[in-house]
Structure 1
Amino acid sequence: MRETPSKAEVAAVAKRVVKILVGQGLTCYLVGGVASMLWGTSRTPNDVDIVISTTMYTAEEIKRLVARADPRFLLVPSKNPRNTYKVTWFRKARSSDGSILRCKVDFLVPPTLNVPSLTDDHIVQKSALPVSPLLPLLLLKLQAWEDHRWARYADLQEKQHTDVADITELLDIAVREGVRVADAPWLSSLFLSAARRRVQSYVVQYYASRRAWRELGFTTV
């Protein structure tokens, strides 16, 4: 029996979340592994990361809203007793073999984790799902790499290798798509300034990526 969701299952969970949020009049878009997958990366994500561009609700309020709309979304206390927030899990029995599909959903409200608040004009549709444009998606993954690289705990540090694999594929896709940092003036100067610093650090560690970053318009060492 499958322990982790398939690509199709993760996409289906994402569609259900989006339907609930859009039904409430909220603007949202996918980031992280699901968004990367929809742009063409090979890794199968095991959760859904979704940004809600709102000042009306907190992330905890949005979790409760989604759980009320669909009881298959369960709010579970964090494993860390110091955390007061709830973790959202989508759970249902698979019709094929009776095993249980479990997929975590993370809700992000800007400026949490520096995610940008995007308008509908900048959100991209992929497979009928609202997705982050390539550039901020790539730069958020770069931020995750830096955070995991300097994380205190070994399990978080280990995630940097997955980040590098995703960044490598996203960089190739961005170059093919003709992405240029100059074409995204709608991203804040603070967000881009931090990204430029991280690009320099990344190139020091992965020098082979230097040309791709330059093609996107970043200055590299």
Structure 2
Amino acid sequence: MSHPRLDEVERVARATVTTLLSAGIRSCLVGGMACSIYGNSRVPNDVDIVCLTDKHTQEELKGILVANDINFYTIASKDPLATYRVLWYRLGFRRSCKVDVLLPGVMNIPPVPRRGWTIAGPTSFILGEKQHVDVRDIGELLDLAVEKYDVNVKRDGKSLPESFLRAAVTRMKAYVKSFPNSAEHWRDIGFHV
């Protein structure tokens, strides 16, 4: 299966947000789609969305999407020990886009204030097969944070939990150790390197 085009991923993101909202569930985009909205040039492969609810599990949220839009469907995980299903959105004949439904608290995602998120800053990098993509994304996001959005963690990060910011600092320091040329931009957005 080929990767979806940007217009297709945007369509999936809109359908996901709209379908959740029609069920009374607020949400916000994170990951590659959120980065794309803020100007990152890489086309995301999927849609990552945080649902702002504590009334449903991730599997229940997937069920809500499937029940309310015929283009959503789930398949069993490739991991035979997994207890979850993988959510997809049908784009056309043999073309689909994966949708990751997340909740605050999962993968260190902080609770989202009622007023919603504005720019939350760059994402963390992940070691492994996606590292080169993540490194490029982080570099581009750091440029955007400094040059286009005037992000400052000390000023803008007040609504983020302290535990989230501590984890971000730990990841940033590990990142700078591997990519020392990024240190100046991290300082520019308010991190002590």
Find the counterpart in structure 1 of residue 152 from structure 2. Answer: 180
Q: Corresponding residue for 1:167?
A: 138
Match of 2:165 among 192, 207, 212: 192
d(CA) in 1 for partners of 2:188, 2:116: 21
Amino acid at match of 2:167: A
- What's the RMSD between the two structures over aligned residues? 1.3
Q: Is residue 129 of structure 2 the alignment partner of residue 158 of structure 1?
A: yes
| Structure-2 residue corresponding to 1:78 | 77
Take 2:129 and 2:60, find their aligned partners in 1: how far apart are those partners?
31
Amino acid at match of 1:110: P
Query: Does residue 113 in structure 1 map to residue 113 in structure 2?
Result: no
State the match for 2:48 in structure 1.
49
Structure 2 equivalent of residue 101 of structure 1: 95
Q: CA deviation at 1:134?
A: 3.6
SS in 2 for 1:81: coil
Partner AA of 1:103 in structure 2: C
Counterpart residue number, 1:128: none
Are the counterparts in 2 of residues 134 and 174 from structure 1 also a CA contact under 8 Å?
A: no
Contact 1:181 1:217 in 2 (8 A): yes
Percent of aligned pairs with the same amino acid: 39
Aligned to 1:66: 65
Confirm or deny: 8 A CA contact 2:8 2:91 kept in the other structure: no
Counterpart of 2:178? 205
Determine helix, strand or coil for the equivalent of 1:29: strand
Q: How far, CA to CA, are the matches of 1:92 and 1:8 in structure 2?
A: 11
Deviation at 1:107, TM superposition (A): 0.2
Q: CA deviation at 1:119?
A: 2.9
Q: 1:120 Cα shift?
A: 4.4
Quote the Cα distance in structure 2 between the aligned partners of 1:215 and 1:79: 42
Q: 34-43 or 2-11, which moves further after superposition?
A: 2-11
Q: Distance in 1 between matches of 2:20 and 2:162?
A: 29
Counterpart of 1:152 in structure 2 is none
Show CA shifts across 1:189-215 (max 9, x none).
111011111111111111110000001
1:39-91 residue CA offsets vs partner (Å, 9 max, x unmatched): 11111111000001111001100000000001211110001111010000111
Q: Alignment partner of 2:158: what SS?
A: coil
Aligned counterpart, 1:32 = 31
The CA distance in 2 between the partners of 1:38 and 1:14, in whole Å, is 11
Task: Report the TM-score, using the length of structure 1 for normalisation.
Answer: 0.83
Q: TM-score, normalised by structure 2?
A: 0.94
Deviations 1:120-176 (A, max 9, x none): 42334xxxxxxxx242xx1xx21xx2xx32xxxxxxx11111111110111111112
Aligned to 1:154: none
Distance in 1, matches of 2:109 and 2:21, equals 19
CA contact (8 A) 1:27 1:119 kept: no
Q: Which amino acid in the other structure matches residue 13 of structure 1?
A: V
* Count of aligned positions: 191
Deviates more, 1:208-217 or 1:2-11: 2-11
